[in-house]
Structure 1
């Protein structure tokens, strides 16, 4: 969501994600062998990725999505790996949830590994692949690729299932009651409203621009020009409406070049949010904008531009002349609208969805807001008498915008800090600077100090006092959040995440709720305290899991239901930590297929698949302490749906 306007509103507009049910296997693998020399071969592994899904690179950030891993059986024993596994072209995009760059593949991926055979008896190479594939849900998966060096048909390795493995495998199977209830669960589908929210926030930015000294005085002058210099009143109204239309058109046209960039590479605009140096550049630019609002210098486009547009409008006249008048307004007002438009551009790169479309929506909304008063006052000229007079209050608006620009600038500095792993702008430091900015803005609004272009403050207006109290309230809110007296849910996603703290975190469970990461341990505790179970199939690198936790679980009505009434068991199906040797085993499915269970992800991923028929995350199930299914399964939902789902489970448990 656009972060700039988030700061203006002192709240976060949380978009609803668009979720869909997954395919069972969104990646299809193929393999071949190229002989290079007598003992050297090239193993080629190709992945066909279903539309809309993406597969993470080996080199994606360790703090984001789960990277693909290749394990070459008998390597160094019968053959040597020559250099590392190379991969085809990737895409890079910034993750708002994990606050890092994520590198991934779309549509196709190609991996190659050169090997040098050291044991002439080997003919078959086995490569085990672990990866995570994501769309609206994430699925941790594994696959075994078999290569034969002589071109013969590969033979799948027969894995023995001994008595010990059968016993451990049986422990993964649950004797569920009411299991048929699970199949009735339907994923909650929410329509994406991002584009309209961004349009609305762009509109809000345009309304704010109207209050600046570069634009506000132009309204009565321009409307009067059209109504008084036209032979007919209706002609003046039509010209004013045309003027407003051209204002909208100009700001719409300004966004079109970004669609050209996007057509070359769909991630080119997102790279603004992922590159350390570009984030630092944005930080410097917004600080520069802020000090122009503070009155230390003026940002203007070359005056010759405005003069040429003004001359063109006078000479040409008619509809074309009105268009050039609108262009003149855009140029003359740049010193006030430029920083706001810069915030719109920078904030759009932090939004979810297609960047170029988001920018067009925001710019169009901005243009509509600027054009609206010219059209309205042309239709109802008597309203002009009710407009407040220009004055020092417009300077105050610019200064407030300057403080907000610095607040936005810190977001870009934070991005660079997180991506670069510098550890400079931790959450408490970030919020501390915001508190200082809030105090400074509050003191300014109460008239305790001035900026260079401020006149003498004889009496504080009602509007200025009201804004000062809002600034003070927001500052107190930040202080209470830093001191943990309250949470900062309204700012979720803007400051660095809570785990990026100068203090050591006590719990790595969601929202600090006591949880179990082993099903049997959690079940034993649920039976001891006689509480139902919220079974949470999740992942460390699951974006939508974090969205559910931050936006739904944290809700004031949902959080206490989970914390006080359920035993939370969070099973991480992407945790590649190796199991102790005594806990490793071979699991045999009903079909006869055998799977090696060597790490935590394999164990709980198989557990989810066998018992609940799902392999995607997030995935939630409600169980009684005697393994009765209490409600349909659910994946993604809004607050109301999730709360009602939890309450229904409690009623069924009783």
Structure 2
């Protein structure tokens, strides 16, 4: 029977070979100058070509955040010296709700630059680089470690890529979001009344309807050109480096926080924000000149007059877009915003009968302005939170942030049903059905925030809220337990989620599994594995899964990217790549490749005490019932094996 079990295990291992060892990235390392001479300062360019649907983490974000940063090391010798620090060239930036922080990464192409000074003619530069690539499709994350050697024969020149190229899908997302922001801006009291007035002027001043339509088209085009040019200039001046550096600076975030609070108070009617009247008057005089120039200045006048209502919306779009540092993205954002802004003026000129169907200006416009004020207050807290987290002030912990949001959106709900009124609101006891629906949505959202005060994860809002580590009053801390025989190695630097107890060393865990006669559950994971954390939060947190993991298995988490260096007597040379494995991560990654022919994480393997597979390994999959079946079948197979 053991032969049958061995054959079954062999078949399962063969089936798992469908997940072959992957390396979806290629590197090219070269100098910026062919045949550098003594005294030359040249750039070493580490160029990465990344397969479609994969991405590479960069090197310029907080290494304690979670994802595995790309690291380069250089062996010291007297033939060269490093000049400055390694620089990643224009990586993309993204906030990840799972890590509760912002990281940088590369898609398709990646570039890192290190400047060196050549000291001797027979120079030789050697070193290594450690990095991780992840898949957008199936959640695989794979760490790699490579070495490089550069000398006179390695110099082959190369051109430096000047700027990153945003993905087409990313640009469409920016365009659509900005377009929707433009539609919101149209409903503000500063803009909405201008639509019928401006269109009427065009139609009355023109000798024919055709001429009026032509002027309206030029007017709309002028609005688009003005906003798009503004986005281009701002992103060109600030986008590449300054906004990236400022994004977590306390002063920048406090300024934005203050501006948002200022505009919120203005929206509530405390005071009016306007541009200097002299500037607006001068430009308005230019609009009276007529012709194409006059139409263009009419467009600029509209932009300036609407400043007090549109600036917070435009500013939010620019800040969120330009943090990525791309001229294309900044220009796209402003183009989308201005497109929505310009369409009504052109559309109503082409079809003037539509003007009759427009709702009249009234109290509803003021209500829109007040609602925007509440939203400005809520968004302002996000900028204060960034500064608070970056500098550890401790003034806006997670529960404080949630409490403030509950107050803000609760007051917004009361305003929508007419129980809270401001001086600028008309006297009326009736509300529209649409306003009632908005109130229901607002109150529902407010109520959903309340469990967060006691530690509920509020996963859908994790991109806005401070991290759970700042929560001082958590009643939902889990204590699942587990099966251990002795104190686990490395438990001072590694931990299990959800209060589970387990090991971080394979041999120690296997010994305990044999002692307790329980199956061994191996979790190939990584500090920088996004989908490992998602599996833990969305699948492992299920009570049925937690119960089985804690009661029926001995657990071992093998981190493939941990850089802890082991003692010399634990080092060995890999049969896979011939390299010496010195760290916990190197040895765990080598074990996964050589034993299971797989190098992606997360990867779950269950063995019996004889180290035989008792079920086909499982990778990233968020189906909870299938994961429960995976555990149950493995447990049943283990019991059958124990009887035999």
TM-score in terms of structure 2 length:
0.69
The alignment status of 1:411 with 2:408, answered yes or no, reads: no
Aligned match of 1:601:
585
Work out whether residues 531 and 565 of structure 1, in 8 Å CA contact, stay in contact via their aligned partners in 2: no
Determine which of 292, 296, 321 is the counterpart of 1:323.
296
Distance 2:532 2:379 in 1: 25
Work out whether residues 427 and 496 of structure 1, in 8 Å CA contact, stay in contact via their aligned partners in 2: yes
Distance 2:27 2:304 in 1: 50
Query: In 2 relative to 1, CA 513–370 (structure 1 residues): closer, same or farther, beyond 3 Å?
Result: farther
Secondary structure at the counterpart of residue 469 of structure 2: coil
Distance 1:213 1:301 in 2: 16
How many Å apart are 1:289 and its aligned residue?
A: 1.8
Query: In 2 relative to 1, CA 596–213 (structure 1 residues): closer, same or farther, beyond 3 Å?
Result: closer
Determine which of 267, 278, 287 is the counterpart of 2:241.
267
Aligned match of 1:220:
196
The alignment status of 1:491 with 2:465, answered yes or no, reads: no
Query: In 2 relative to 1, CA 562–233 (structure 1 residues): closer, same or farther, beyond 3 Å?
Result: farther
Query: In 2 relative to 1, CA 624–590 (structure 1 residues): closer, same or farther, beyond 3 Å?
Result: closer
How many Å apart are 1:335 and its aligned residue?
A: 0.8
Aligned match of 1:235:
211
Query: In 2 relative to 1, CA 340–448 (structure 1 residues): closer, same or farther, beyond 3 Å?
Result: same
Work out whether residues 270 and 355 of structure 1, in 8 Å CA contact, stay in contact via their aligned partners in 2: no
Distance 1:270 1:45 in 2: 23
How many Å apart are 1:426 and its aligned residue?
A: 2.0
Aligned match of 1:96:
95
Q: Which of 1 and 2 has higher RCO (CA within 8 Å, sep 6+)? A: 1
Work out whether residues 478 and 498 of structure 2, in 8 Å CA contact, stay in contact via their aligned partners in 1: no
Work out whether residues 539 and 624 of structure 2, in 8 Å CA contact, stay in contact via their aligned partners in 1: no
Aligned match of 1:50:
48
Query: In 2 relative to 1, CA 328–652 (structure 1 residues): closer, same or farther, beyond 3 Å?
Result: farther
The alignment status of 1:310 with 2:284, answered yes or no, reads: yes
Secondary structure at the counterpart of residue 200 of structure 2: helix
Distance 1:526 1:338 in 2: 67
How many Å apart are 1:530 and its aligned residue?
A: 8.2
Determine which of 255, 259, 281 is the counterpart of 1:281.
255
Aligned match of 1:35:
none
1:565-589 Cα deviation digits (max 9, x unpaired): 877854322323455x6x9513232
Aligned match of 2:12:
none
Aligned match of 2:613:
627
Determine which of 345, 365, 374 is the counterpart of 2:318.
345
Work out whether residues 517 and 569 of structure 1, in 8 Å CA contact, stay in contact via their aligned partners in 2: yes
Matches within 5 A, 1:128-527: 131-132=130-131, 193-261=169-237, 266-317=240-291, 319-349=292-322, 354-484=325-455, 487-503=457-473, 509=496, 517-519=504-506
Distance 2:537 2:253 in 1: 30
Gaps spanning 5+ residues in structure 1: where?
1-20, 31-43, 74-78, 115-125, 148-190
Query: In 2 relative to 1, CA 463–606 (structure 1 residues): closer, same or farther, beyond 3 Å?
Result: same
Query: Which 10-residue stretch deviates more, 367-376 or 21-30?
Result: 21-30
Query: In 2 relative to 1, CA 560–68 (structure 1 residues): closer, same or farther, beyond 3 Å?
Result: same
Work out whether residues 61 and 102 of structure 1, in 8 Å CA contact, stay in contact via their aligned partners in 2: no
1:423-461 Cα deviation digits (max 9, x unpaired): 332222211211121122222333333334333343233
Query: In 2 relative to 1, CA 338–60 (structure 1 residues): closer, same or farther, beyond 3 Å?
Result: closer
Secondary structure at the counterpart of residue 107 of structure 1: strand
Query: In 2 relative to 1, CA 303–132 (structure 1 residues): closer, same or farther, beyond 3 Å?
Result: same
Determine which of 109, 115, 118 is the counterpart of 2:114.
109
Work out whether residues 398 and 467 of structure 2, in 8 Å CA contact, stay in contact via their aligned partners in 1: yes
1:108-142 Cα deviation digits (max 9, x unpaired): 33589x9xxxxxxxxxxx99978446687876566
Distance 2:45 2:597 in 1: 24
Query: In 2 relative to 1, CA 376–502 (structure 1 residues): closer, same or farther, beyond 3 Å?
Result: same
Aligned match of 1:181:
none
Aligned match of 1:585:
570
Distance 2:354 2:547 in 1: 57
Query: In 2 relative to 1, CA 528–298 (structure 1 residues): closer, same or farther, beyond 3 Å?
Result: farther
Query: In 2 relative to 1, CA 539–211 (structure 1 residues): closer, same or farther, beyond 3 Å?
Result: same
The alignment status of 1:546 with 2:522, answered yes or no, reads: no
Distance 2:311 2:562 in 1: 47
Query: In 2 relative to 1, CA 522–306 (structure 1 residues): closer, same or farther, beyond 3 Å?
Result: farther
Query: In 2 relative to 1, CA 591–90 (structure 1 residues): closer, same or farther, beyond 3 Å?
Result: closer
How many Å apart are 1:509 and its aligned residue?
A: 3.9
Matches within 5 A, 1:530-545: 536-540=523-527, 542=528, 545=529
Query: In 2 relative to 1, CA 86–500 (structure 1 residues): closer, same or farther, beyond 3 Å?
Result: farther
Aligned match of 2:641:
none
1:203-242 Cα deviation digits (max 9, x unpaired): 1211111111101111121222233433322332333233
CA RMSD of aligned residues (A): 4.7
Secondary structure at the counterpart of residue 334 of structure 2: helix
How many Å apart are 1:70 and its aligned residue?
A: 6.9
1:537-563 Cα deviation digits (max 9, x unpaired): 4332x2xx236644x765589968965
Secondary structure at the counterpart of residue 305 of structure 1: helix
How many Å apart are 1:320 and its aligned residue?
A: 3.3
Secondary structure at the counterpart of residue 219 of structure 1: helix
Query: In 2 relative to 1, CA 440–340 (structure 1 residues): closer, same or farther, beyond 3 Å?
Result: same
Distance 2:318 2:280 in 1: 23
Distance 2:500 2:317 in 1: 37
Query: In 2 relative to 1, CA 89–380 (structure 1 residues): closer, same or farther, beyond 3 Å?
Result: same
State the number of aligned residues: 541
Secondary structure at the counterpart of residue 96 of structure 1: strand
How many Å apart are 1:196 and its aligned residue?
A: 1.6
Query: In 2 relative to 1, CA 46–218 (structure 1 residues): closer, same or farther, beyond 3 Å?
Result: closer
Gaps spanning 5+ residues in structure 2: where?
1-21, 32-41, 51-55, 120-124, 151-166, 480-494, 638-644
Distance 1:515 1:349 in 2: 44
Distance 1:362 1:511 in 2: 41
Query: In 2 relative to 1, CA 356–70 (structure 1 residues): closer, same or farther, beyond 3 Å?
Result: closer
Aligned match of 1:575:
562
How many Å apart are 1:413 and its aligned residue?
A: 1.3
Work out whether residues 452 and 458 of structure 2, in 8 Å CA contact, stay in contact via their aligned partners in 1: yes
